[in-house]
Amino acid sequence: YSDCHDADLVVVTAGTAQKPGETRLDLVNRNIKIMKGIVDEVMASGFDGIFLIASNPVDILTYATWKFSGLPKERVIGSGTSLDTARFRMSIADYLKVDARNVHGYILGEHGDTEFPAWSHTTVGGLPITEWISEDEQGAMDTIFVSVRDAAYEIINKKGATFYGVA
């Protein structure tokens, strides 16, 4: 950890792997202990940079890192729902057969089972998504969201762990 003393950024991806049937919240007790150990060691090195947290449950561990580190809140960042948002945009683009760079929409809330899409702010080519889909296609949009929300479970079932999901 001594190499962290002059680092501008420390990215933390450590934690216990989520097993089939577990939720991200089931990891809290195990991963908070791991996170505390890492943060204590990094801070003991004299680190004064930014933490980027990508371990699950990411929102809780980001908050814990902020508390453990004593750093200002703007220097502890979590990946949050950024991966979910990317999957969401790509899935909509695939469905509508448009370039994903033209899809703007966000997954909000806590990363995991309680996240939700901001449909009212989702646009494609600058137009509300409702201009692109008929009422009959609303079910497809719901299916897209569920597949985005549950992507981690599919990855765990096929690969055994979610660290393959970011790739």
Domain range 82-160, CATH architecture? Alpha-Beta Complex (3.90)
Q: What pLDDT, in 10s, does the model give residues 123-154?
A: 999 999 999 999 899 899 999 999 988 887 77
Q: From CA 117, how far away is CA 129, in angstroms rounded?
A: 12
Two domains, one topology: 2-78 and 82-160: no
Q: What pLDDT, in 10s, does the model give residues 56-107?
A: 889 999 999 999 999 999 999 999 889 999 999 999 999 999 999 999 999 9
Does domain 2-78 fall under CATH 3.40.50.12280? My reply is no
Task: Based on the residue annotation, tell me whether 111 is a catalytic residue of this protein.
Answer: yes
Active-site option among 5, 104, 111, 121: 111
